[in-house]
Amino acid sequence: MKRTITILLLPLLLSWMTACSVISSPTQKSKKDISPLEKKTLLQKANRFNNQGVQAYRKGDYKASINYYLEAIKIKERVLGTEHLNTATSYNNLGLVYKRIGQNDKALIYISEALKIREKNLGRVDSQTAQSYNNLGTLLASMGETKKAIKYTEKTIEIKKQIVHKEKIAIAVSYNNLAVLNEEVGNYDKALTSYFKAMKINEEVFGKGHEVTQGNYANIALLYYTMKRFDEARKYAKMAKKEPETMQLDTITVKAH
């Protein structure tokens, strides 16, 4: 019996971030006047500055690290404008250097800016946004702002839980897809294993009464029916709230929400 594979499309995690200018704000005209070749060359230069900043930080040369990051930011703001994701990465890096050397007021400016940009452009439920919340929480803790630090750390945990939730759903969809493929080539035992793995995740995430989980039950019942294991088919058909005799006419689609 033919199943429908559901493909879960998750938003891509972008490495380029929108940034509101902290150091300088170039005009839109200057951005447009940059040729594609010049833009490429300048961005390569900015990336070199950024990498040199990382290396200097690791060596403990924080003054040099700050200078490299500032140079990278200057180029990124000019070339990418004030609403590009990559600039936020340099803000975050620079903020962490300032935090390291105890210049917490400057660190707060840059880390807060990175958070603002990431949350605006990537949304709250994103690993980079969570990173910024965590960075801000640890910074506030070092500044003695314990209550505020607790607030941001709690938000970090909340976001990470939601990310895990979405990842679990994606894994369940993949298990379902793998089961469908194995079933199509007659690998019924492998298909059952994958269906049960998808079912277990969806029971945990959605609960047994949710349509996604009941779709898993229906898929398992249909496969048992194909294998002529009618008692098991009847059991899972009942859990899916379907009649085994009519399910063979159904095409079950498991949807991820």
Look at residue 179 in the predicted model and tell me its pLDDT.
96
Question: For residues 66 and 94, what is the distance between their CA atoms, to the nearest angstrom?
Answer: 6
Mean per-residue pLDDT, 228-248: 79
Instruction: Look at residues 108, 197, 220 and name the one whose alpha carbon lies nearest to residue 116.
Output: 108
* Residues 149/140, Cβ–Cβ less than 8 Å: yes
Residue 7: strand, helix, or coil: coil
pTM: 0.69
Domains of the chain and CATH, by start: 28-144 (1.25.40.10), 164-247 (1.25.40.10)
Does the pLDDT of residue 220 top 90, yes or no? yes
Tell me the DSSP string of 196-251.
Answer: HHHHHHHHHHT-TTSHHHHHHHHHHHHHHHHTT-HHHHHHHHHHTT--HHHHTT--
Look at residue 255 in the predicted model and tell me its pLDDT.
36
Residue pLDDT, tens place only, 114-123: 999 999 999 9
Residue pLDDT, tens place only, 73-89: 999 989 987 677 888 99
Between 36-59 and 85-100, two packed helices, what is the crossing angle to 10 degrees?
Answer: 20
